[in-house]
């Protein structure tokens, strides 16, 4: 059987690549490659050779021009050395092949600013939503309860019953749409995969600090209509083992952290559909 391969892009300010690659391996991928963006632009590494792309957290280009905006411009317009191909062509080919992309925190910011989410009607290159400065006016580092939409098409959330508890750390995590029509369509098509909620996952909340950034409709993460692309502000790769939980010395917890299920779902999908 062919190997299941994940790629984690690093460089220009990312800082979660090792955690993401570790989560991919724990989740069941045969191989998880950490690749600097320069290796992809040089043609040494091609996205075509992988099944699951991870865009990780960090501070791309120091968040100049706004979080991930400079990298979004770079990826949409840069050429791959010696090939005559635009890098964005590899991204669009990756998506059209039904492969998986997960953007976390800075990676989510990158996806929305490239236009890869929510990407209505297969339009993956036009931006319609953004992630901007937290309402509180400062960086937040805390754990959040995320209510899952059971009707979401997301590949990554299979088996999550009510919600999930994950850490977040960001200064620009407030989700905003360019219009009421965009927001209504996201809600109508169940693309708002995760919403900040109370500890019982009973209902989304706009109350700080449970909603740490003031996100519109409490949205913490969205997917595209296929469910193969998803982005979220909290960090699933930062809770794959119980010792990462803030109360692990005081509570009896399962060995697997709650974030690992997303990577297990990704690996299962790839084995069943792509190799």
Is residue 237 among the annotated active site residues?
Answer: yes
Catalytic: which of 17, 172, 237, 258? 237
Identify whether the C-beta of residue 229 lies closer than 8 Å to the C-beta of residue 119.
Answer: yes
Q: Whole-angstrom Cα distance, residue 101 to residue 90? A: 13
Is residue 223 among the annotated active site residues?
Answer: no
Torsional sign, CA 84, 86, 90, 96: negative
Q: Whole-angstrom Cα distance, residue 274 to residue 271? A: 6
Is residue 235 among the annotated active site residues?
Answer: yes
At residue 87, φ and ψ (nearest 5 deg) are -60, -35
Catalytic: which of 16, 17, 24, 235? 235
Exposed, middle or buried by CB within 10 Å (0-12, 13-18, 19+), for 1?
exposed
Rg of the Cα atoms in the chain: 17
Q: Which two tokens stand for residue 139?
A: 């960086």
DSSP 241: B
Catalytic: which of 16, 24, 105, 223? 105
The residues assigned a catalytic role are 105, 235, 237
């Amino acid at each position: 059987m062919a190997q299941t391969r994940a790629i984690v892009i690093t460089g220009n300010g990312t800082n979660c690549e090792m955690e993401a690659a570790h989560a991919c391996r724990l989740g069941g991928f045969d191989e998880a490659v950490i690749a600097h963006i320069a290796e992809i632009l040089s043609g040494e590494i091609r996205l075509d050779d992988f099944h699951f792309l991870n865009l990780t957290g960090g501070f791309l280009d120091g968040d100049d021009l706004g979080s991930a905006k400079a990298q979004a411009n770079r990826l949409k317009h840069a050429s791959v050395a010696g090939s005559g191909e635009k890098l964005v062509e590899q991204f669009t080919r990756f998506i059209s092949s039904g492969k998986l992309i997960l953007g976390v925190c800075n990676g989510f910011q990158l996806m929305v600013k490239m236009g890869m989410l929510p990407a209505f009607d297969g339009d993956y290159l036009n931006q319609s939503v953004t992630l901007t400065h937290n309402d509180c006016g400062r960086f937040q580092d805390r754990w959040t309860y995320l209510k899952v939409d059971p009707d979401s098409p997301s590949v990554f959330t299979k088996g999550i019953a009510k919600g999930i508890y994950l850490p977040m750390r960001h200064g620009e995590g407030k989700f905003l749409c360019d219009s009421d029509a965009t927001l209504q369509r996201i809600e109508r098509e169940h693309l708002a995969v995760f919403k900040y909620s109370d500890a019982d996952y009973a209902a989304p909340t706009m109350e700080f600090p449970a909603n740490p950034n003031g996100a519109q409709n409490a949205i913490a993460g969205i997917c595209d209509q296929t469910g193969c692309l998803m982005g979220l502000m909290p960090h699933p790769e930062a809770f794959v083992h119980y010792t990462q939980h803030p109360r692990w010395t005081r509570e009896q917890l399962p060995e697997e952290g709650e974030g690992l299920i997303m990577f297990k779902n990704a690996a299962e999908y790839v084995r069943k559909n792509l190799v």
